[in-house]
Amino acid sequence: MLPSHPEPLVTAPAETALLSLLLTEGPLSRVDLARRTGLSATAITKAARPLIEDGYLHELPPQRTAPGAGRPVNPLAVTPDRQFFAGVKISDDTVYGVLCDLRATTRATARRPLAARDPEAVSALMADLVEELLDADPLHRARTRHLGIAVSGDVDRAAGRVRYSTRPDWQDVPLAEAAARATGLAVTVENDVKALTAAEHWFGEGTGTEDFALVCIGAGIGAGLVVNGRLLPGAYGVAGEVGHISVDPAGPRCACGSTGCVESIASTSAILDTVRRTTGRPDLDFPAVVELARSGDPAARDAFARAGRAIGTGIAALVNLFGPERVAVTGEGLDTYDLFGAHIQVAYTADAFRSAGRCRLTLRPLAWDDWARGAAVVGIQTLFG
Ligand SMILES: [Zn+2]
């Protein structure tokens, strides 16, 4: 029998507000919690009690707020090692795994080369990886019930299916079921950019914001959106596809079938194709193109400039549509930010409408393990009903 999905830990609004604040922001006094949640001190005490009894929260030793400020307060804090969450990111050639505690601190990492790509073989590989993470500490095995998996492409999280992915080449794969059978854990499968956005919203660049976007640039270009404090799933599972906003009707044909998409101009392979064509050198690889651009070659520099303008225009379109407070830019494209960053900024500033442009773009370099951490955070969020 497959492991049943654990029940959410909290469903009541007061407990949800209390636990999410303490998870994302760290210890807070009851007075601060009451002020931040709008709840009464009595309601805070009542909401905290079952979470303290279950070991998810504890009281810190008395802390005096200021000299002469009255009686000391005992801030409430999350007990990070009450529960652990495994997270896996499946990339082109490697499976990355992490084990995180409740506050998304990475406690163990592991990785495996991706050899066979059929779902059963990948599930067996993930099970092997998870075993290594659980072996790192006896507490891990006793307190891990959930595995989050991040995959690129069109993912039906509710059904646990990968509808379409090119990395690996999958169509309609019931991945959650296969992985649950292999690992014995409850499994959630999520689109990788959405998972990373959830992690950044709760534990990274977007902490404390209600409206936030994470834009990934590199081999693919995509975004995750947080609207009114919640990750936007999209009615049909797709939202935030900034890479497929058409910014040039006369631009190149995109893999999606449309024309002049941001991705068809600004992805790593699009930049490479452009420079090969304009220089007449089909032998070039991407590192050589980067070197050419850095040495001042006009054709290579121009390809990056055009890519930067496309990305900046795409981000401005996102910002104009939903007015986020902050946009974080990440992905392997940051490695060449020196070549197109200024163009991204110029196009963004020119195209963002009025006050929407007050939204800052911040750069957020992240490693592969952080993508796996994103998958673990999706697990942490299943504690909430
Ligand atoms: Zn497209």
* Per-residue pLDDT tens digits of the chain, which is 385 residues long: 566 677 899 999 999 999 999 999 999 999 999 999 999 989 999 999 999 999 999 999 887 666 666 677 889 999 999 999 999 999 989 999 999 999 999 999 999 999 888 999 999 999 999 999 999 999 999 999 999 999 998 899 999 999 988 878 899 999 999 999 999 999 999 999 999 999 999 999 999 999 999 999 999 999 999 999 999 988 887 889 999 999 999 999 998 899 999 999 999 999 999 999 999 999 999 999 999 999 999 999 999 999 999 999 999 999 999 999 999 999 999 999 999 999 999 999 999 999 999 999 999 999 999 999 999 999 999 999 8
Tokens representing residue 80 in the block: 């990070």
For residue 154, the CA-to-ligand 1 centroid distance in Å is 14
For residue 265, the CA-to-ligand 1 centroid distance in Å is 10
Query: Residue 31 in 3-state DSSP?
Result: helix
DSSP strand pairing (144-151 vs 154-156): unpaired
For residue 107, the CA-to-ligand 1 centroid distance in Å is 38
Q: Can you list the alpha helix ranges (DSSP code H) found in the chain? A: 13-25, 30-37, 41-53, 119-135, 138-142, 175-183, 192-203, 262-266, 268-279, 286-294, 298-322, 337-351, 368-381
Tokens representing residue 7 in the block: 């029940």
For residue 15, the CA-to-ligand 1 centroid distance in Å is 42
How far is Cα of residue 122 from the mean position of the Cα atoms in its chain?
21
Identify whether the C-beta of residue 271 lies closer than 8 Å to the C-beta of residue 289: yes
For residue 310, the CA-to-ligand 1 centroid distance in Å is 12
For residue 259, the CA-to-ligand 1 centroid distance in Å is 7
CATH second-level architecture of 82-199+370-381?
2-Layer Sandwich (3.30)
What distance in Å separates the CA atoms of residue 339 and residue 352, rounded to the nearest whole number?
A: 22
Query: Residue 100 in 3-state DSSP?
Result: strand
Q: Which fold has domain 13-78?
A: Arc Repressor Mutant, subunit A (1.10.10)
For residue 252, the CA-to-ligand 1 centroid distance in Å is 10
CATH second-level architecture of 207-363?
2-Layer Sandwich (3.30)
For residue 257, the CA-to-ligand 1 centroid distance in Å is 6
Spatial CB neighbours of 275, under 8 Å, sequence gap ≥ 6: 281, 284, 289, 292, 293, 299, 300, 303
For residue 214, the CA-to-ligand 1 centroid distance in Å is 19
**CATH 3.30.420.40 domain extents, the chain:** 82-199+370-381, 207-363
For residue 263, the CA-to-ligand 1 centroid distance in Å is 6
Angle between helix 41-53 and helix 13-25 axes, rounded to 10 deg: 70
Tokens representing residue 111 in the block: 């990785």
Query: Residue 235 in 3-state DSSP?
Result: coil
For residue 219, the CA-to-ligand 1 centroid distance in Å is 13
For residue 184, the CA-to-ligand 1 centroid distance in Å is 38
For residue 195, the CA-to-ligand 1 centroid distance in Å is 22
Tokens representing residue 224 in the block: 């995750």
Residue holding tokens 């992805």? 267
For residue 344, the CA-to-ligand 1 centroid distance in Å is 19
Closest CA to 189 of 257, 241, 237: 237
DSSP strand pairing (326-330 vs 360-363): parallel
What distance in Å separates the CA atoms of residue 248 and residue 46, rounded to the nearest whole number?
A: 57
Spatial CB neighbours of 159, under 8 Å, sequence gap ≥ 6: 174, 176
The reported pLDDT for the residue numbered 153 is 87
**CATH 1.10.10.10 domain extents, the chain:** 13-78
CB atoms within 5 A of ion ligand 1 belong to 244, 254, 256, 258, 261
What distance in Å separates the CA atoms of residue 116 and residue 124, rounded to the nearest whole number?
A: 10
For residue 260, the CA-to-ligand 1 centroid distance in Å is 7
